[in-house]
Amino acid sequence: MKSKYLAKLEGGIVVKAIKGESLDIPQCQNGTWVQGENRPAVGYAYYPDLDAFIAPERYPSWILNRETYSWDPPAPFPSSDPLDPYMWVEEETAWVFVAPPTTTTPAPT
């Protein structure tokens, strides 16, 4: 059985999240509480049209995926290995390779 989560909202933003089965929980009597399709977290926004809690937008160019409730970059990650050293550069709206630091081993004396 899927767990239910409730969130207290202020201005559409989650300020408190709890696990519960219904809005009848006594601590949910004050304020605006909602139960969405996914798990809320403090700082997430509630999107009533999706009935979902969504993390803050990472970058202005990223696009809300209305099926996964996550933010997707406008360009796919350039590697099949998610641990490859790329970082998103918003000014270029692109993934940029970040060369790992090189270390030199001192010569034995």
Tens digits of residue pLDDT in 71-99 = 999 999 999 999 999 999 999 999 999 98
Q: What is the three-class DSSP state of 26?
A: helix
pLDDT in tens, 19-46: 876 655 666 667 888 888 899 999 999 9
36 exposure class (CB count in 10 Å sphere: 0-12, 13-18, 19+):
buried
Q: Note the pLDDT of residue 105.
A: 72
By the 8 A CB rule, do 69 and 54 touch?
yes
DSSP state of 82: T
In terms of residues, how long is the chain? 109
Sign of CA dihedral 79, 81, 85, 86: positive
Q: Which residues contact 102 (CB under 8 A, 6 or more apart)?
A: none
How is the chain split into domains, by residue range? 5-56
Backbone angles phi, psi at 27, to 5 degrees: -70, -5
Name the residue with tokens 């390779």: 97
